[in-house]
Amino acid sequence: MVRKLVVSVVLVLSAIVPLSADVKYTMHMEARMAANAANDPMAQMAGPMMMQMFPAGGIDQIVIAGEHGVRSEQQQAFATVKAGTVTLMKADGSMFMLDPSSKTYWKQPVMTAEAAGMLAGMKPEFKVVKRGEYETINGMKAEHLVLSMTMSIPGVDPSQLPPGMSPDITMAYEAWMTDAVKMPKGATTLAASAMKQFGMGDVKELNDGRMLLKGVMTTFGVEIVMTASGFSNEAVAADLFEIPKDFKEVPSPIR
């Protein structure tokens, strides 16, 4: 269950970061054990599983975005997603995944029904705990935000947990946001819709027209680090955001 939720989170985080019209860039993600993981019983259980999902050196996605939506091409395999897979997140909020090697595609919910049910039972609560501090990243001024999320573990009797294990799951999320790259209205709406499904609809600071230059999500003793780089403006053909006519629809392998 946790694995499925993590896959959903990673796929969406790579697609909902604020974007500017017809911008191309690289999003890099990698996982590393947090410094305090050795003292966290939950981290000892779930941390190794999360680390195994990421290849050595992390994953890179080549992202092209504009008013038509977001297109990302995955360079390395991640969990059940093959290297070379293309994710299309269209302006209407629908998401498709394309496998060019087999000329197949499938419609992928932003969050699977099982993961959505799991998240709803956890009742996530997000808070912005620090704002107003600025740093320079890749030559751009960025506000450093610190957020926290607390979720209850559904169906768990706290008295049955091992000593020292909390009945809640906590997650810290740090984000460095810049207004040096602007986000068009279409992408703002798309990001807001996706964030709402993850219970983050009220966190306006992450979808206020600025670009995420760096993000660090810490949970289960693992830090997932995201960095965006290599920005360029390009004239993008609209058909890059469409499913090729010779591709065949297949059931989703992500379950």
pTM given for the model: 0.73
The domain tally of the chain equals: 1
The string of pLDDT tens digits covering residues 46-85 is 667 777 788 889 999 998 877 778 889 999 998 778 899 9
pLDDT recorded at residue 20: 40
Residue 254 maps to a domain:
no
Mean of pLDDT over the chain: 76
pLDDT recorded at residue 17: 45
* Portion of the chain with pLDDT greater than 70, in percent: 64
- Structural domain containing residue 176: 2-249
Residue 124 maps to a domain:
yes
pLDDT recorded at residue 21: 47
Task: For residue 248, give Cα distances in angstroms to 98, 100, 241.
Answer: 10, 11, 16
Closest CA to 8 of 107, 95, 112: 112
Sheet containing strand 222-233, edge to edge, reads: 125-137, 140-152, 168-178, 211-219, 222-233, 23-33, 59-66, 69-74, 86-90, 95-99, 104-107, 248-249
pLDDT recorded at residue 61: 92
Residue 255 maps to a domain:
no
The string of pLDDT tens digits covering residues 149-202 is 777 666 666 666 666 566 667 778 899 999 887 655 555 555 555 555 555 556
